[in-house]
Amino acid sequence: MYEVYTYPSLTKDIDSVSVELFRKIQKENYDTISFVTHSMGALVVRSLYEHINLPLTFPFIYRIVMIAPPNNGSPVADFFAQFSFIKFIVGPNINNLTTNPLSGASKYPIPTCEVGLIAGSYGKNRGFNIFIKEDNDGLLIPEQTKLGIEKDIVFIKSWHVGLLYNRKVKKYVISFLKNGQFK
């Protein structure tokens, strides 16, 4: 069984969404759960780990497949976060998506389950976004998507949102959820 969880990423901050997701999962009464995330969804799931240590019951998290996760932030967020008016346009999460080690994406807990990482890459010294001076998917630098705990990692020539529609990505997700690897 699977369920799609959506949230208003332009109006609700990551931590609030994480609390709502935590409560929803608790009500469902599952024994085990796995996640497939895209982009900021990885930070929402990582934020869940702040609540799991509480003396409340929560299902065992078996595996997470992170697609294009901003695990260490985004240079695009760094650029836009310097303008205070931008929060009115892109919402409350711009600072959570920066590369700032204290207030940005890397502040969230590291998962303790098996993690598979799928990241977009142009595969050269330049990427899809000409303003980022190295390989990128338009928003993220592939090497900055890593947490260092991944069981398997695959890079696919695709832009950030395009990964959601890529057939290889779908096959890799199913493979990792079943077998813990992208073969």
The CATH class, in words, for 14-179 is: alpha beta
Query: Mean pLDDT over residues 22-50, rounded?
Result: 94
Mean pLDDT for all residues in the chain: 93
Distance from C-alpha of 133 to C-alpha of 163, rounded to nearest angstrom: 21
Residue 77 near residue 141 (C-beta atoms within 8 A): no
Instruction: Report the relative pairing of strands 114-121 and 152-157 from DSSP bridges.
Output: parallel
Q: What is the pTM of this model?
A: 0.94
List beta partners, residue 33: 61
Q: How far is CA 39 from CA 43, 69, 71, in A?
A: 8, 4, 9
Domain ranges in the chain are: 14-179
pLDDT digits (tens, 9 = 90+) for 124-154: 888 999 889 899 999 999 999 999 999 999 9
| Residue 54 pLDDT | 63
3 state SS of 63: strand
Q: Is the dihedral of CA 177, 153, 45, 97 positive or negative?
A: negative
pLDDT digits (tens, 9 = 90+) for 46-85: 999 998 876 667 889 999 999 999 999 999 999 999 998 8
